[in-house]
Amino acid sequence: MTEFLAVEGGTLAYEVAGEGPLVVLAHGVGDSRHAYRALAPRLVAAGYRVAAVDLRGCGESSTGWASWSRTDVAGDLLALVRHLGGPAVLVGHSFSGGAATIAAAREPELIDAVVELAPFTRKQSVRLGDLKVRRFRKGSLRLIGAGLFGSLRLWRAYLEVAYPGVRPADWAERIARIEAMMREPGRMKALRGMGRSTPTDAGEQLGNVRCPVLVVEGTLDPDWADPHAEGEAIVAALPDGLGRLEMIEGAGHYAHDQYPDQVAALVVPFLRAEAARA
């Protein structure tokens, strides 16, 4: 059941299932909480109260927000955690990985741990040699084009690259849902606004995080020429001993949708281990 939370600047849509410690799931750009339809039930079955939220401008959340930075979204996530009675674990995908980092650094008493799935959490740079990697070149051109021109066709083309090999059984429905959402007034504006927001605000907060962080990358993620190196760089920027990187072989940018069992098999033991230490 969809619930709504009014925050400064608009309204956030979310849904909650399960009982136990709170886990908040935040999706990436051009998506909705539907992206977690496979992972959320696995976390509920493991004994967690799971809240999946539509980011500002996405899904069933309102449009017309003044800005779209990771810092803005971090504030939204913290407001939801407070509303639901934190503390919580934040799971952030892509853009939201950076937002989760900022939230954890800003209010450590509210965030017990962070899971970052294919996160954009630090300043990006492209070397000439990166363009020799075909999947990176294809993904980047389509991603940049979608944001630059507000093109739904290019966004769909990017998703084709971002899901290499294995795709969920409901792939046709998944794409149709995304396309229908992106045709709604204001939804492409949100994608473009988030796309123009650089992750430097998140990178500046990595050293201020005080909770454990699990970073999960797919080996075939087209958003980086070397996803492993990107994950290692994020872990290295965290305080010593807080970060851990795990790779999922064959996964693209949406490991939680392609391989939900493998992602759950990483996330659940991580959460239980941190709870035991606490």
Helix H or strand E encompassing 47 = none
* Domain ranges for the chain: 3-277
Taking a C-beta distance cutoff of 8 angstroms, is the pair 73, 96 a contact?
Answer: yes
Per-residue confidence band for 21, with pLDDT thresholds at 50, 70 and 90: very high
> Hey, how many other C-beta atoms are within 10 angstroms of the C-beta on 48?
22
Higher pLDDT, 28 or 1: 28
pLDDT at 131: 81
pLDDT at 86: 81
Of 140, 133, 81, 71, nearest to 111 by C-alpha is 81
Least confident of 8-12, 131-135, 164-168: 131-135
d(CA 77, CA 24): 8
Q: Which fold has domain 3-277?
A: Rossmann fold (3.40.50)
Of 32, 69, 67, nearest to 52 by C-alpha is 32
Of 235, 233, 261, 257, nearest to 114 by C-alpha is 235
pLDDT digits (tens, 9 = 90+) for 92-150: 999 999 999 999 999 999 999 999 999 999 998 878 788 888 899 999 999 999 988 99
pLDDT digits (tens, 9 = 90+) for 169-200: 999 999 999 999 999 999 999 999 999 999 99
| DSSP characters over 2-32 | -EEEEETTEEEEEEEE-SSSEEEEE--TT--
Residue 6, burial from CB neighbour count under 10 angstroms (0-12, 13-18, 19+) = exposed
pLDDT at 278: 61
Residue type, 132: K
Taking a C-beta distance cutoff of 8 angstroms, is the pair 143, 114 a contact?
Answer: no
Using DSSP, state whether 39 is helix, strand or coil. helix
Name the DSSP letter for residue 207: G
Of 180, 148, 146, nearest to 160 by C-alpha is 146
pLDDT at 2: 96
Name the DSSP letter for residue 61: S
Instruction: Name the token pair of 277.
Output: 């230490």
Residue type, 252: G
